[in-house]
Amino acid sequence: MIKSKKIRWEVQMWTLCDGWVNTWHEDDTSWTFPSRQAAAAELKTFLADIKEAVKCGDMDSGYDRDEFRIVPAGTPDDTDAAAIIISRGSKPKRIKKRD
């Protein structure tokens, strides 16, 4: 019997220079999550923390949720519309690659 490899998920951010990349690292190790839900929860917390920092004056501006996507770990930038992400709801949707 062949064991299926458990999919890990990552949060990718849109960057001008490199397109979609996982910018979340600790000690040169990329953060990945055991489920889409876990990644989405971490992203939600991150965005709430950033919003609070802006509100307190610790940052000039925050991030937009559309600057992030949640995909299987290692998904390259060139996946185009085949990249499945988690939107604000619980249903995955397809997105188009930004120009």
Domains of the chain: total: 1
For 52, the domain range is: 9-94
User: Per-residue confidence at 4, pLDDT binned at 50, 70, 90?
Assistant: low
84 falls within a domain? yes
User: Could you please report the per-residue DSSP string of the chain?
Assistant: -PPPPPPPEEEEEEETTTEEE---EETTEE--BSSHHHHHHHHHHHHHHHHHHHHHTSSS----GGGEEEEETT--GGGGGG-EEE-SSSSEEE-PPP-
99 falls within a domain? no
Give the pTM. Answer: 0.70
What pLDDT shows up at residue 39?
95
CB 77 within 8 A of CB 20: yes
Per-residue pLDDT reduced to its tens digit, 50-70: 999 999 989 898 898 989 999
